[in-house]
Protein backbone atom coordinates (compact mmCIF):
# COMPACT_ATOMS: atom_id res chain seq x y z
CA UNK A 1 0.00 0.00 0.00
CA UNK A 2 1.35 3.44 -0.95
CA UNK A 3 0.72 6.02 1.75
CA UNK A 4 0.48 9.74 1.03
CA UNK A 5 2.21 11.24 4.06
CA UNK A 6 1.54 14.86 3.09
CA UNK A 7 -0.22 16.26 6.11
CA UNK A 8 -1.25 19.62 4.73
CA UNK A 9 -3.21 18.31 1.84
CA UNK A 10 -4.64 20.64 -0.79
CA UNK A 11 -7.22 17.88 -1.24
CA UNK A 12 -8.72 18.97 2.09
CA UNK A 13 -9.62 22.24 0.43
CA UNK A 14 -7.93 25.60 0.86
CA UNK A 15 -9.84 28.33 2.71
CA UNK A 16 -11.51 30.78 0.35
CA UNK A 17 -10.25 33.68 2.47
CA UNK A 18 -6.83 35.05 1.50
CA UNK A 19 -6.14 35.91 5.15
CA UNK A 20 -4.10 33.41 7.14
CA UNK A 21 -6.61 31.79 9.47
CA UNK A 22 -6.94 28.79 11.76
CA UNK A 23 -7.86 26.48 8.86
CA UNK A 24 -4.62 27.09 6.98
CA UNK A 25 -1.90 24.51 7.54
CA UNK A 26 0.95 25.76 9.71
CA UNK A 27 4.21 25.93 7.78
CA UNK A 28 6.19 22.74 8.47
CA UNK A 29 3.09 20.65 9.16
CA UNK A 30 2.56 19.79 5.52
CA UNK A 31 5.09 16.99 5.77
CA UNK A 32 6.68 15.46 8.86
CA UNK A 33 9.11 12.56 8.28
CA UNK A 34 8.57 9.29 10.04
CA UNK A 35 11.92 9.56 11.83
CA UNK A 36 12.25 12.80 13.77
CA UNK A 37 14.93 15.18 12.53
CA UNK A 38 17.17 17.08 14.91
CA UNK A 39 15.96 20.32 13.35
CA UNK A 40 12.52 21.58 12.36
CA UNK A 41 9.36 23.06 13.82
CA UNK A 42 7.47 19.74 14.03
CA UNK A 43 8.60 16.27 15.06
CA UNK A 44 7.40 13.12 16.78
CA UNK A 45 6.94 12.43 20.46
CA UNK A 46 6.57 8.66 19.94
CA UNK A 47 8.85 8.19 16.94
CA UNK A 48 9.21 4.41 17.42
CA UNK A 49 5.52 3.68 16.98
CA UNK A 50 4.14 2.53 13.65
CA UNK A 51 1.70 4.82 11.84
CA UNK A 52 -1.96 3.95 11.67
CA UNK A 53 -3.37 4.92 8.26
CA UNK A 54 -7.14 4.47 8.03
CA UNK A 55 -8.53 4.67 4.51
CA UNK A 56 -11.18 7.16 3.40
CA UNK A 57 -14.01 4.71 4.02
CA UNK A 58 -12.88 4.18 7.61
CA UNK A 59 -12.43 7.92 8.13
CA UNK A 60 -15.94 8.62 6.84
CA UNK A 61 -17.43 5.97 9.13
CA UNK A 62 -15.72 7.42 12.20
CA UNK A 63 -16.60 11.01 11.25
CA UNK A 64 -20.27 10.04 11.07
CA UNK A 65 -20.13 8.99 14.74
CA UNK A 66 -18.93 12.42 15.81
CA UNK A 67 -22.04 14.48 15.13
CA UNK A 68 -23.45 15.92 18.33
CA UNK A 69 -26.73 14.15 19.25
CA UNK A 70 -29.72 16.44 19.65
CA UNK A 71 -31.35 16.75 23.03
CA UNK A 72 -28.41 15.32 25.01
CA UNK A 73 -27.00 17.05 28.11
CA UNK A 74 -23.56 17.86 26.71
CA UNK A 75 -22.48 20.95 28.67
CA UNK A 76 -19.47 20.44 30.93
CA UNK A 77 -18.16 22.33 33.95
CA UNK A 78 -15.51 24.50 32.24
CA UNK A 79 -16.64 28.08 31.46
CA UNK A 80 -17.13 28.62 27.72
CA UNK A 81 -14.38 31.23 27.45
CA UNK A 82 -11.64 28.63 27.96
CA UNK A 83 -12.49 27.08 24.59
CA UNK A 84 -11.18 30.25 22.97
CA UNK A 85 -8.32 30.69 25.43
CA UNK A 86 -7.20 27.35 23.98
CA UNK A 87 -7.47 28.73 20.44
CA UNK A 88 -5.62 31.88 21.49
CA UNK A 89 -2.82 29.74 23.00
CA UNK A 90 -2.67 27.63 19.83
CA UNK A 91 -2.18 30.76 17.73
CA UNK A 92 0.51 32.01 20.11
CA UNK A 93 2.62 28.86 20.01
CA UNK A 94 2.23 28.36 16.24
CA UNK A 95 2.74 32.03 15.30
CA UNK A 96 4.91 32.27 12.17
CA UNK A 97 6.41 35.76 11.70
CA UNK A 98 8.69 34.78 8.79
CA UNK A 99 8.43 36.67 5.53
CA UNK A 100 6.79 35.21 2.44
CA UNK A 101 10.26 34.84 0.88
CA UNK A 102 11.49 32.81 3.87
CA UNK A 103 8.38 30.62 3.76
CA UNK A 104 8.97 30.04 0.06
CA UNK A 105 12.63 29.12 0.56
CA UNK A 106 11.95 26.92 3.60
CA UNK A 107 8.40 25.54 3.18
CA UNK A 108 8.96 22.68 5.65
CA UNK A 109 10.23 25.04 8.40
CA UNK A 110 13.48 23.14 8.83
CA UNK A 111 15.74 26.17 9.25
CA UNK A 112 13.85 29.47 9.46
CA UNK A 113 11.21 29.10 12.12
CA UNK A 114 10.22 30.61 15.44
CA UNK A 115 10.66 28.23 18.37
CA UNK A 116 7.21 27.67 19.94
CA UNK A 117 6.85 29.68 23.14
CA UNK A 118 4.21 31.16 25.39
CA UNK A 119 5.42 34.69 24.72
CA UNK A 120 2.43 36.49 23.18
CA UNK A 121 4.26 37.27 19.95
CA UNK A 122 0.83 36.91 18.35
CA UNK A 123 -0.08 40.05 20.34
CA UNK A 124 3.21 41.98 20.35
CA UNK A 125 4.17 41.14 16.78
CA UNK A 126 7.75 42.20 16.13
CA UNK A 127 7.52 45.08 18.61
CA UNK A 128 7.35 48.90 18.36
CA UNK A 129 10.55 49.24 16.33
CA UNK A 130 9.51 46.90 13.49
CA UNK A 131 5.72 47.35 13.62
CA UNK A 132 5.20 50.90 14.93
CA UNK A 133 1.64 51.07 13.54
CA UNK A 134 0.55 48.68 16.31
CA UNK A 135 1.58 51.14 19.01
CA UNK A 136 0.59 54.63 20.15
CA UNK A 137 2.95 57.49 19.42
CA UNK A 138 4.43 59.14 22.49
CA UNK A 139 5.97 62.60 22.55
CA UNK A 140 9.56 62.53 23.69
CA UNK A 141 9.41 58.86 24.70
CA UNK A 142 9.37 55.42 23.18
CA UNK A 143 5.86 54.10 22.42
CA UNK A 144 4.78 51.52 24.94
CA UNK A 145 1.01 51.10 24.60
CA UNK A 146 -1.13 49.46 21.91
CA UNK A 147 -3.41 51.36 19.58
CA UNK A 148 -7.04 50.43 20.33
CA UNK A 149 -9.86 50.65 17.79
CA UNK A 150 -13.53 51.55 17.96
CA UNK A 151 -16.51 49.34 17.17
CA UNK A 152 -18.70 49.89 14.12
CA UNK A 153 -21.57 52.37 14.35
CA UNK A 154 -22.47 54.96 16.95
CA UNK A 155 -22.43 52.89 20.13
CA UNK A 156 -20.39 54.72 22.75
CA UNK A 157 -17.40 53.21 24.52
CA UNK A 158 -17.45 49.99 22.44
CA UNK A 159 -13.92 48.92 21.58
CA UNK A 160 -12.57 46.84 18.73
CA UNK A 161 -9.21 45.87 17.31
CA UNK A 162 -7.51 48.65 15.35
CA UNK A 163 -8.36 48.27 11.65
CA UNK A 164 -7.46 49.75 8.31
CA UNK A 165 -10.15 51.30 6.04
CA UNK A 166 -10.97 47.85 4.64
CA UNK A 167 -11.73 46.51 8.12
CA UNK A 168 -8.58 44.35 8.27
CA UNK A 169 -7.28 44.08 11.85
CA UNK A 170 -3.87 45.65 12.49
CA UNK A 171 -2.58 43.05 14.95
CA UNK A 172 0.42 40.78 15.40
CA UNK A 173 -1.31 37.62 14.15
CA UNK A 174 -4.24 37.91 11.70
CA UNK A 175 -5.65 34.57 12.92
CA UNK A 176 -6.71 36.30 16.14
CA UNK A 177 -9.52 38.00 14.24
CA UNK A 178 -11.13 34.86 12.84
CA UNK A 179 -14.08 34.91 15.26
CA UNK A 180 -15.54 37.43 17.67
CA UNK A 181 -14.43 35.52 20.79
CA UNK A 182 -10.73 35.20 19.97
CA UNK A 183 -10.82 38.75 18.57
CA UNK A 184 -12.12 40.07 21.88
CA UNK A 185 -9.49 37.99 23.72
CA UNK A 186 -6.79 39.59 21.57
CA UNK A 187 -8.21 43.00 22.43
CA UNK A 188 -8.35 42.09 26.13
CA UNK A 189 -4.65 41.17 26.16
CA UNK A 190 -3.76 44.41 24.36
CA UNK A 191 -5.71 46.36 26.97
CA UNK A 192 -4.08 44.27 29.70
CA UNK A 193 -0.66 45.38 28.47
CA UNK A 194 -1.80 49.02 28.41
CA UNK A 195 -3.21 48.71 31.93
CA UNK A 196 0.06 47.21 33.22
CA UNK A 197 1.92 50.15 31.67
CA UNK A 198 -0.40 52.54 33.55
CA UNK A 199 0.12 50.56 36.75
CA UNK A 200 3.91 50.72 36.38
CA UNK A 201 4.03 54.47 35.73
CA UNK A 202 1.45 55.59 38.33
CA UNK A 203 2.56 57.30 41.57
CA UNK A 204 5.93 58.50 40.22
CA UNK A 205 6.56 55.10 38.62
CA UNK A 206 6.89 53.35 41.98
CA UNK A 207 5.92 49.91 40.64
CA UNK A 208 8.23 50.32 37.65
CA UNK A 209 11.19 50.99 39.96
CA UNK A 210 10.20 48.01 42.08
CA UNK A 211 9.82 45.48 39.26
CA UNK A 212 12.11 46.56 36.44
CA UNK A 213 15.29 44.70 35.62
CA UNK A 214 18.67 46.19 34.67
CA UNK A 215 18.08 47.98 31.35
CA UNK A 216 14.31 47.49 31.03
CA UNK A 217 12.28 50.45 29.86
CA UNK A 218 8.58 50.71 30.64
CA UNK A 219 7.58 48.71 27.54
CA UNK A 220 10.06 45.89 28.20
CA UNK A 221 9.12 45.67 31.88
CA UNK A 222 5.40 45.63 31.09
CA UNK A 223 5.89 43.05 28.34
CA UNK A 224 7.79 40.71 30.67
CA UNK A 225 5.18 41.01 33.43
CA UNK A 226 2.33 40.49 30.96
CA UNK A 227 4.07 37.42 29.50
CA UNK A 228 4.78 35.92 32.91
CA UNK A 229 1.21 36.44 34.13
CA UNK A 230 -0.03 34.91 30.87
CA UNK A 231 2.31 31.92 31.36
CA UNK A 232 0.97 31.53 34.88
CA UNK A 233 -2.60 31.50 33.52
CA UNK A 234 -1.63 28.92 30.88
CA UNK A 235 -0.18 26.56 33.50
CA UNK A 236 -2.18 27.23 36.65
CA UNK A 237 -5.58 28.11 35.20
CA UNK A 238 -6.05 26.69 31.68
CA UNK A 239 -3.89 23.53 31.84
CA UNK A 240 -4.98 22.70 35.36
CA UNK A 241 -8.62 22.76 34.28
CA UNK A 242 -8.29 20.50 31.24
CA UNK A 243 -5.91 17.70 32.31
CA UNK A 244 -6.29 15.11 35.06
CA UNK A 245 -4.84 16.09 38.43
CA UNK A 246 -2.53 13.07 38.74
CA UNK A 247 -0.71 13.81 35.47
CA UNK A 248 -0.49 17.52 36.28
CA UNK A 249 1.14 16.84 39.65
CA UNK A 250 3.45 14.22 38.16
CA UNK A 251 4.89 16.61 35.56
CA UNK A 252 4.88 19.88 37.54
CA UNK A 253 6.70 19.35 40.81
CA UNK A 254 7.30 21.73 43.72
CA UNK A 255 10.72 20.79 45.08
CA UNK A 256 13.87 22.60 46.23
CA UNK A 257 16.57 23.05 43.59
CA UNK A 258 19.27 22.99 46.24
CA UNK A 259 19.55 21.47 49.74
CA UNK A 260 17.70 23.61 52.31
CA UNK A 261 16.23 25.66 49.44
CA UNK A 262 12.63 26.70 49.16
CA UNK A 263 10.36 24.54 46.99
CA UNK A 264 10.07 25.92 43.47
CA UNK A 265 8.36 24.70 40.32
CA UNK A 266 10.23 22.05 38.35
CA UNK A 267 9.21 20.05 35.30
CA UNK A 268 9.61 16.27 35.07
CA UNK A 269 9.13 14.91 31.53
CA UNK A 270 8.89 11.17 30.98
CA UNK A 271 8.17 10.78 27.26
CA UNK A 272 8.89 14.08 25.49
CA UNK A 273 12.51 14.91 24.63
CA UNK A 274 14.27 17.09 22.07
CA UNK A 275 17.92 17.37 21.06
CA UNK A 276 18.91 20.88 20.01
CA UNK A 277 15.77 23.00 19.76
CA UNK A 278 12.29 22.46 21.07
CA UNK A 279 9.90 21.09 18.44
CA UNK A 280 6.14 20.68 18.32
CA UNK A 281 5.10 17.01 18.40
CA UNK A 282 2.54 16.12 15.73
CA UNK A 283 0.80 13.88 18.27
CA UNK A 284 0.07 17.14 20.13
CA UNK A 285 -0.59 19.51 17.21
CA UNK A 286 -2.74 17.19 15.08
CA UNK A 287 -4.45 15.11 17.78
CA UNK A 288 -4.26 15.80 21.51
CA UNK A 289 -4.50 19.62 21.44
CA UNK A 290 -7.44 19.45 19.06
CA UNK A 291 -9.62 18.37 21.98
CA UNK A 292 -10.89 21.96 22.05
CA UNK A 293 -12.99 21.33 18.94
CA UNK A 294 -15.30 19.16 21.03
CA UNK A 295 -15.79 22.03 23.53
CA UNK A 296 -17.36 24.39 20.98
CA UNK A 297 -21.03 25.09 21.68
CA UNK A 298 -23.68 25.11 18.93
CA UNK A 299 -24.59 28.70 19.87
CA UNK A 300 -23.44 31.47 22.20
CA UNK A 301 -25.02 34.53 23.75
CA UNK A 302 -22.55 37.41 23.47
CA UNK A 303 -24.27 39.90 25.77
CA UNK A 304 -27.78 40.94 26.84
CA UNK A 305 -28.62 42.04 23.27
CA UNK A 306 -26.87 39.57 20.95
CA UNK A 307 -27.44 35.84 20.67
CA UNK A 308 -27.86 32.99 20.72
CA UNK A 309 -25.92 32.62 17.45
CA UNK A 310 -23.50 29.99 16.08
CA UNK A 311 -19.81 30.71 15.70
CA UNK A 312 -20.34 30.53 11.96
CA UNK A 313 -22.82 29.30 9.37
CA UNK A 314 -22.25 27.24 6.20
CA UNK A 315 -22.62 30.41 4.13
CA UNK A 316 -19.68 32.70 3.47
CA UNK A 317 -18.93 35.01 6.38
CA UNK A 318 -18.14 37.78 3.88
CA UNK A 319 -21.78 37.89 2.75
CA UNK A 320 -23.06 41.17 4.21
CA UNK A 321 -26.60 39.78 4.42
CA UNK A 322 -25.27 37.04 6.70
CA UNK A 323 -23.00 39.08 8.98
CA UNK A 324 -25.40 39.38 11.93
CA UNK A 325 -26.26 35.67 11.94
CA UNK A 326 -22.93 34.34 13.23
CA UNK A 327 -19.83 35.17 15.29
CA UNK A 328 -17.33 34.80 12.48
CA UNK A 329 -14.58 37.38 12.24
CA UNK A 330 -12.36 39.31 9.83
CA UNK A 331 -14.69 42.32 10.00
CA UNK A 332 -15.42 45.36 12.13
CA UNK A 333 -17.26 44.61 15.33
CA UNK A 334 -20.96 45.36 14.74
CA UNK A 335 -22.79 47.85 16.96
CA UNK A 336 -23.76 46.47 20.39
CA UNK A 337 -21.49 43.44 19.96
CA UNK A 338 -19.11 44.23 22.83
CA UNK A 339 -18.54 40.97 24.69
CA UNK A 340 -19.83 40.42 28.22
CA UNK A 341 -17.08 38.28 29.75
CA UNK A 342 -19.34 37.33 32.69
CA UNK A 343 -21.08 35.01 30.23
CA UNK A 344 -17.77 33.28 29.41
CA UNK A 345 -15.72 33.28 32.65
CA UNK A 346 -16.60 33.04 36.34
CA UNK A 347 -16.23 36.66 37.43
CA UNK A 348 -18.27 36.15 40.59
CA UNK A 349 -21.77 36.43 39.14
CA UNK A 350 -22.58 33.13 37.40
CA UNK A 351 -26.23 33.93 36.61
CA UNK A 352 -25.64 33.98 32.85
CA UNK A 353 -22.42 31.96 32.68
CA UNK A 354 -22.24 29.63 29.66
CA UNK A 355 -20.24 26.42 29.83
CA UNK A 356 -18.16 24.71 27.19
CA UNK A 357 -19.28 21.36 25.87
CA UNK A 358 -17.78 18.30 27.59
CA UNK A 359 -14.57 16.92 26.15
CA UNK A 360 -15.99 14.00 24.21
CA UNK A 361 -16.15 12.57 20.69
CA UNK A 362 -18.95 14.88 19.56
CA UNK A 363 -18.66 18.06 17.49
CA UNK A 364 -21.33 20.77 17.36
CA UNK A 365 -23.21 21.29 14.05
CA UNK A 366 -21.31 24.45 12.97
CA UNK A 367 -18.05 22.45 12.88
CA UNK A 368 -19.53 19.82 10.61
CA UNK A 369 -20.51 22.39 7.97
CA UNK A 370 -17.61 24.83 7.75
CA UNK A 371 -18.04 27.94 5.57
CA UNK A 372 -15.85 28.25 2.47
CA UNK A 373 -13.86 31.03 4.15
CA UNK A 374 -12.58 28.39 6.57
CA UNK A 375 -12.54 25.16 4.60
CA UNK A 376 -12.64 25.70 0.87
CA UNK A 377 -14.89 23.55 -1.24
CA UNK A 378 -13.50 20.04 -0.72
CA UNK A 379 -14.07 18.89 2.90
CA UNK A 380 -16.33 21.06 5.07
CA UNK A 381 -16.63 18.52 7.91
CA UNK A 382 -14.04 19.30 10.60
CA UNK A 383 -14.11 15.76 12.01
CA UNK A 384 -13.19 14.36 8.61
CA UNK A 385 -10.51 17.02 8.11
CA UNK A 386 -8.85 16.23 11.46
CA UNK A 387 -8.97 12.47 10.91
CA UNK A 388 -7.59 12.81 7.38
CA UNK A 389 -4.73 15.02 8.47
CA UNK A 390 -3.81 12.60 11.26
CA UNK A 391 -3.74 9.74 8.76
CA UNK A 392 -1.60 11.61 6.27
CA UNK A 393 0.90 12.53 8.95
CA UNK A 394 1.16 8.89 9.99
CA UNK A 395 0.10 9.29 13.60
CA UNK A 396 0.10 6.13 15.71
CA UNK A 397 -3.18 4.73 16.97
CA UNK A 398 -4.46 5.73 20.37
CA UNK A 399 -4.00 2.17 21.65
CA UNK A 400 -0.31 2.22 20.65
CA UNK A 401 0.31 5.46 22.52
CA UNK A 402 -1.49 4.15 25.60
CA UNK A 403 0.76 1.07 25.63
CA UNK A 404 3.85 3.26 25.09
CA UNK A 405 3.15 5.24 28.26
CA UNK A 406 2.28 2.14 30.28
CA UNK A 407 -1.49 2.67 30.38
CA UNK A 408 -4.22 0.13 29.76
CA UNK A 409 -5.72 0.90 26.33
CA UNK A 410 -9.44 1.32 25.86
CA UNK A 411 -10.98 -1.85 24.48
CA UNK A 412 -13.19 -2.18 21.39
CA UNK A 413 -16.39 -1.88 23.41
CA UNK A 414 -15.18 1.34 25.04
CA UNK A 415 -14.06 2.89 21.77
CA UNK A 416 -17.38 2.05 20.09
CA UNK A 417 -15.94 2.17 16.57
CA UNK A 418 -17.48 0.48 13.53
CA UNK A 419 -15.60 -2.70 12.74
CA UNK A 420 -13.55 -2.47 15.97
CA UNK A 421 -9.77 -2.23 15.58
CA UNK A 422 -7.30 0.68 15.97
CA UNK A 423 -8.56 4.16 16.81
CA UNK A 424 -7.13 7.36 15.27
CA UNK A 425 -5.26 9.22 18.00
CA UNK A 426 -7.52 12.29 17.92
CA UNK A 427 -10.67 10.18 18.26
CA UNK A 428 -9.04 8.11 21.00
CA UNK A 429 -8.14 11.22 23.04
CA UNK A 430 -11.73 12.48 22.84
CA UNK A 431 -13.36 9.13 23.64
CA UNK A 432 -10.93 8.55 26.49
CA UNK A 433 -11.88 11.92 28.01
CA UNK A 434 -15.57 11.10 27.63
CA UNK A 435 -15.13 7.87 29.61
CA UNK A 436 -12.45 9.11 32.03
CA UNK A 437 -14.40 11.64 34.09
CA UNK A 438 -17.56 12.27 32.14
CA UNK A 439 -15.71 14.67 29.82
CA UNK A 440 -14.66 17.05 32.58
CA UNK A 441 -10.95 16.67 31.74
CA UNK A 442 -8.71 14.84 29.32
CA UNK A 443 -7.92 11.22 30.09
CA UNK A 444 -4.57 9.49 30.59
CA UNK A 445 -3.17 9.69 27.04
CA UNK A 446 -4.51 13.16 26.25
CA UNK A 447 -3.41 14.58 29.60
CA UNK A 448 0.09 13.14 29.26
CA UNK A 449 0.71 14.55 25.77
CA UNK A 450 -0.73 18.01 26.46
CA UNK A 451 0.87 18.42 29.91
CA UNK A 452 4.36 17.35 28.81
CA UNK A 453 4.30 19.57 25.72
CA UNK A 454 2.97 22.61 27.58
CA UNK A 455 5.41 22.34 30.46
CA UNK A 456 8.27 21.21 28.22
CA UNK A 457 7.70 24.31 26.10
CA UNK A 458 7.74 26.57 29.15
CA UNK A 459 10.90 25.00 30.58
CA UNK A 460 12.66 25.23 27.19
CA UNK A 461 12.01 28.98 26.94
CA UNK A 462 15.07 30.76 28.41
CA UNK A 463 13.02 33.88 29.16
CA UNK A 464 10.04 32.22 30.87
CA UNK A 465 9.38 32.67 34.56
CA UNK A 466 10.03 28.93 35.01
CA UNK A 467 13.53 29.25 33.55
CA UNK A 468 14.63 32.56 35.05
CA UNK A 469 12.73 32.69 38.36
CA UNK A 470 11.05 29.35 39.18
CA UNK A 471 9.97 30.67 42.56
CA UNK A 472 8.16 33.65 41.04
CA UNK A 473 4.52 34.34 41.84
CA UNK A 474 2.12 36.80 40.19
CA UNK A 475 2.51 40.36 41.47
CA UNK A 476 -0.71 41.84 40.07
CA UNK A 477 -3.81 41.87 42.21
CA UNK A 478 -5.93 38.73 41.95
CA UNK A 479 -8.78 37.23 43.94
CA UNK A 480 -6.18 35.22 45.87
CA UNK A 481 -2.71 36.50 46.75
CA UNK A 482 0.01 34.89 44.63
CA UNK A 483 -2.49 33.53 42.09
CA UNK A 484 -3.74 34.91 38.78
CA UNK A 485 -6.48 33.58 36.50
CA UNK A 486 -8.27 34.71 33.34
CA UNK A 487 -10.97 36.13 35.61
CA UNK A 488 -8.32 38.15 37.46
CA UNK A 489 -6.87 39.42 34.17
CA UNK A 490 -10.30 40.53 32.95
CA UNK A 491 -11.12 42.23 36.26
CA UNK A 492 -7.72 43.96 36.31
CA UNK A 493 -8.27 45.23 32.77
CA UNK A 494 -11.90 46.20 33.35
CA UNK A 495 -12.86 45.38 29.76
CA UNK A 496 -15.97 43.35 28.95
CA UNK A 497 -17.35 43.68 32.49
CA UNK A 498 -20.63 45.60 32.14
CA UNK A 499 -21.56 47.83 35.02
CA UNK A 500 -24.52 46.64 37.05
CA UNK A 501 -27.49 49.04 37.08
CA UNK A 502 -27.94 50.78 40.44
CA UNK A 503 -30.45 49.23 42.83
CA UNK A 504 -33.66 51.22 43.31
**What is 249-296 written as a DSSP string?**
HHHEEEEESSTTPPEEEEE--SS---SSS--EEHHHHTTGGGGGGGG-
Please report, for the chain, how many H helices and E strands are present, in that order. Answer: 19, 8
* pLDDT (tens digit per residue) in 330-361: 999 999 999 999 999 999 999 999 999 999 99
Bridge partners of residue 169, in order along the sequence: 163
pLDDT average, residue stretch 418-430: 96
pLDDT band at 73 (very low <50, low <70, confident <90, very high): confident
The answer on pLDDT for 30 being more than 60 is no
Q: C-alpha dihedral over 364, 370, 373, 376, to 10 degrees?
A: 150
pLDDT average, residue stretch 183-206: 97
CA atoms within 13 A on the CB side of 369: 14
- CA–CA gap between residue 365 and residue 378 (Å, rounded): 18
Residue 200 has a pLDDT of 96
Write the DSSP assignment of 51-79 as a string of letters.
P----HHHHHHHHHTTBPPTT---EEEEE
Least confident piece of the model among 71-75, 155-159, 471-475: 155-159
Quote the mean pLDDT of the chain.
Answer: 88
The answer on pLDDT for 205 being more than 90 is yes
Residue 277 has a pLDDT of 85
Antiparallel, parallel or unpaired: β 263-267 and 252-256: antiparallel
Residue 289 has a pLDDT of 97
Residue 490 burial (CB count, 10 A): 22
pLDDT average, residue stretch 395-404: 98
Residue 114 has a pLDDT of 61
Residue 376 has a pLDDT of 62
Residue 8 has a pLDDT of 43
Residue 466 has a pLDDT of 97
* pLDDT (tens digit per residue) in 458-467: 999 999 999 9
pLDDT band at 27 (very low <50, low <70, confident <90, very high): low
Least confident piece of the model among 212-216, 289-293, 298-302: 212-216
* pLDDT (tens digit per residue) in 151-181: 876 666 899 999 999 999 999 999 999 999 9
Residue 110 has a pLDDT of 39
The answer on pLDDT for 99 being more than 90 is no
- CA–CA gap between residue 50 and residue 396 (Å, rounded): 6
378 SS3 class: coil
- Cα 251 from chain centroid (whole Å): 20
Residue 490 CA: distances (Å) to CA of 184, 188, 342, 350, 447 = 11, 7, 10, 15, 27
Least confident piece of the model among 92-96, 192-196, 246-250: 92-96
The answer on pLDDT for 10 being more than 60 is no
Residue 314 has a pLDDT of 87
Better-predicted residue by pLDDT, 142 or 259: 259
Locate all alpha helices (DSSP H) within 159-261, ordered by sequence. Answer: 180-211, 218-233, 240-242, 245-251
Better-predicted residue by pLDDT, 185 or 97: 185
The pTM (predicted TM-score) of the whole model is 0.91
CA atoms within 13 A on the CB side of 256: 5
pLDDT average, residue stretch 34-62: 83
The answer on pLDDT for 201 being more than 70 is yes
Question: Before 308, cis peptide (omega within 30)?
Answer: yes
Q: C-alpha dihedral over 395, 89, 87, 159, to 10 degrees?
A: -170
Percent of the chain with pLDDT over 90: 75
Residue 483 has a pLDDT of 96
Residue 180 has a pLDDT of 97
Of 374, 372, 366, nearest in space to 312 by CA: 366
The answer on pLDDT for 17 being more than 60 is no
Amino acid sequence: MTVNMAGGGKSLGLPASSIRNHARVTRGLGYVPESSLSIGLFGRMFRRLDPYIPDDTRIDAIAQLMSEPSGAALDGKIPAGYTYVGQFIDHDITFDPTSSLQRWNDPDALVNFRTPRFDLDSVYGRGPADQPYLYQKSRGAEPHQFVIGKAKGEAKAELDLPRDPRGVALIGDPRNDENVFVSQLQLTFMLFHNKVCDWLTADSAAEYERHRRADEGVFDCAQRLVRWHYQWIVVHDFLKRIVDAATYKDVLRNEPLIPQGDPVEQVKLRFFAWQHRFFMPVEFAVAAFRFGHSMVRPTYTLNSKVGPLPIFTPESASNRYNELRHFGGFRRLPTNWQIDWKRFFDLGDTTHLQHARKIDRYLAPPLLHLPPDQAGGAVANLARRNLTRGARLGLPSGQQVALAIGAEPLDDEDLDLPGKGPAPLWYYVLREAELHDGGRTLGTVGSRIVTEVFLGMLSADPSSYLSTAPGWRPVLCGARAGEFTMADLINFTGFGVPMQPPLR
